[in-house]
Amino acid sequence: MNASINEIIKTATRIKHFGSIFYHMLHLNKQLIGKSWIVFILAIILSIESVIVEFLTEIPGISSLLVAGISIPIAGAILLDS
């Protein structure tokens, strides 16, 4: 009987410890996301710019080299600005 009570206490202690670790992991993730939101914004902006570049390369009158020559510095400026 005592062995089963000890096992229950050990299991409860493990669950409590796991809950504490889980809480700290969630708190750390919240802090990291809170500090790195700008990265997500930049990724969205660069994705939109990429879609626009892809659209412009399909237009027959615009050279792909011209589009690349304009879009690469714009993408670099977006990344340097942050």
Can you give the residue ranges of every domain in the chain?
A: 1-35, 37-82
**Which residue did the predictor score with more confidence, 14 or 3?**
14
Whole-model pTM: value is 0.47
pLDDT at position 6, please? Answer: 64
Backbone angles phi, psi at 35, to 5 degrees: -90, -20
pLDDT at position 3, please? Answer: 55
pLDDT at position 9, please? Answer: 63
**CA separation (Å) from 82 to 5, 49, 50, 53?**
57, 16, 18, 21
| pLDDT tens string 29-74 | 777 777 777 778 888 888 888 888 888 878 778 787 888 888 888 8
Helix H or strand E segment including 44: helix 37-57
Euclidean distance between CA atoms 30 and 7, whole angstroms: 34
pLDDT at position 43, please? Answer: 82
